[in-house]
Amino acid sequence: MAKTKILIHSRPWMKPVFDRIFDPQSPEFELSHMADFLCVKGEGLQQSFEENLKAFKKSGRPAPRESVYRRSQEIIHRCRLLRRLSFSRSLDYIVAMDQALLAIFDRVQPEVLVSLTVDNYVTDLIALICQERNIPYLGFVQTFMPDYFRLTVKGGFQRLREPEEHEVETVLQQLTATRRPSHIVERFSSPRQVLFRYLGKVVRSMGRALHYRLLLLTSGDRRNYHYLVSARAGPQFSLEMLKICKSPHLKDIPRKGKDRIYLPLQYYPEATIDYWVPNPRIIDYEQTLFQSLKILEDLGAQVLVKEHPTVLGLRRRGFYERISSFSCVQWVSPAENSVSIIESCDMSLIFTGTVGLEAAVRGKPVLHFGKPYYAQGPRFVYVEEPADLEKKLPVARSLAHTPVTELQQKELVRHLLRGCLPGRFIYGQRQGFFGRWNYDFSGFDDVSLSALRYVKSLKTPTHTDTSASGAQETVLKEEKEYRSLPPMGDFTLREELNEGL
């Protein structure tokens, strides 16, 4: 029996994880590895990328392929590294990496591509090549449910299986439970605790940035995406952060305005916005938030804003002050139970966060910019850009007082689980900045079993467009042909880096 050719794109810390899923000694698979790191040889992806860049310096950059050129501005706009570079330098990176990838695909001739979900320009190019060659792209990603993981290209829904009824009931029970994690409450019990935790974040972030700057100097891998992005991370102190932590609890906030909307802030920058949001015009998270709040202010709404606990204090300077400047905004304590806020509001406004699912399962309408993978049914109202809020708000309002039935709840959870596979997928954890990576593989056998079963199903004659390849094509078709984006100079994260990169 012929072996299935699998090409695995992984970062160094992910190789042990993928090796547990796809056994290198397995007689069923012919495995090849590539990584955008010089320290990982494999198929020599990063080495070829560097050689191509050197060749461009001598003889000039060749024209990009037509399909790459058509998408080049969007590839740049979505990648947190490339959007900081000049357009010319970004195009150098794209063409050099595309050439390196094409050479590997031609040599290996993979039948399946395994990676993480698309999160930078390298994986974006890999997904494009897979689409062109009709190769299933299996992008692994964790879910908010620890016992399940997903396979997706750019965060979109992919139907992977039909869940058992007992799974639907168990997950529904978990989603409808009122959760109030004690450790979250304790984090924000006093301004002093908040300040100490913030200072800890500052030290860790500075140490992380220093670590990756040293790697850029000592590893020889000066154009490594992960090193460059991580070397520039760092918190910016704001006294407004302490005021937010002293925000009133829900019971002390009087209702005002025609509509009461819950707006949970989302972690950013992250792939869940950069790549999961269909409209590339609105992935500048801050500007989209500010525009939305201005419109909601003009519409007379009351917006309850809650900060993401893990991001508190790590926003850009002036971010909290700008949000507070809108008269419609009422900050809620970060320690407040999110479920209680959902239930006290008429609707929620999200990008891709799981608050939307928690709201919908309770019968609350959800305005969303991101077409989240769990969205199913009339309670999810898609907002393509902030200007659409004026016409979409009445739609959500009409659904605000329609009770949800148990049948509707189960159908929502069933849809969610159709896009998930059983198993505790992990990324690994590092002990300190220079320590070894640790992997908790307890419960990981289910990941291997689920993934291998799915890969085998791709080769069966009965397998239809529910495969990763078919779903991937759907996801990419949803992303309309490149629309005019804001000038790169207007993008919030725009920063010129050294042209020598």
Per-residue DSSP letter, 273: H
Percent of the chain scored above 70 by pLDDT?
A: 85
Residue 289 confidence (pLDDT): 97
- Read off the pLDDT of residues 303-331 as tens digits, 9 standing for 90 and up: 999 988 777 777 888 899 999 999 999 99
Of 11-25, 92-106, 177-191, 469-483, the least confident: 469-483
Segment 140-168, tens digit of pLDDT: 999 999 999 999 999 999 999 999 999 99
- Taking the CB of residue 162, how many other CB atoms lie within 10 A of it? 8
Tell me which of 60-74, 286-300, 333-347 is least confident: 333-347
pLDDT in tens, 177-219: 866 444 344 455 555 666 677 777 777 778 888 888 999 999 9
Whole-structure pTM value: 0.89
Please check whether residue 179 is in contact with residue 337, taking contact to mean a CB–CB distance below 8 angstroms. Answer: yes
Helix/strand/coil for 229: helix
Q: Show the domains of the chain with their CATH numbers.
A: 4-161+419-490 (no CATH), 182-414 (3.40.50.2000)
467 or 362: which leads in pLDDT: 362
Higher pLDDT, 403 or 178: 403
| 455 contacts 182 by C-beta, under 8 angstroms | no
Name the residue type at position 52. Answer: N
Higher-pLDDT residue of 249, 390? 390
Lowest-pLDDT range of 313-317, 419-423, 457-461: 457-461
**67-80 per-position pLDDT tens digit:** 999 999 999 999 99
The per-residue pLDDT for 277 is 96
What average pLDDT does the segment 367-395 reach? 96
The first and second tokens of residue 77, run together, are: 């706009």
pLDDT band at 440 (very low <50, low <70, confident <90, very high): confident
Distance separating alpha carbons of residues 354 and 164, to the nearest angstrom: 22
Residue % of the chain over a pLDDT of 90: 67
Q: How many CB atoms lie within 10 A of CB 167?
A: 16
Other CB atoms closer than 10 Å to residue 441's CB: what's the count? 14
Kindly give, in sequence order, each residue whose CB lies less than 8 Å from that of residue 331, ignoring residues fewer than 6 positions away: 243, 244, 247, 305, 306, 307, 324
Of 196-205, 226-235, 389-398, 453-462, the least confident: 196-205
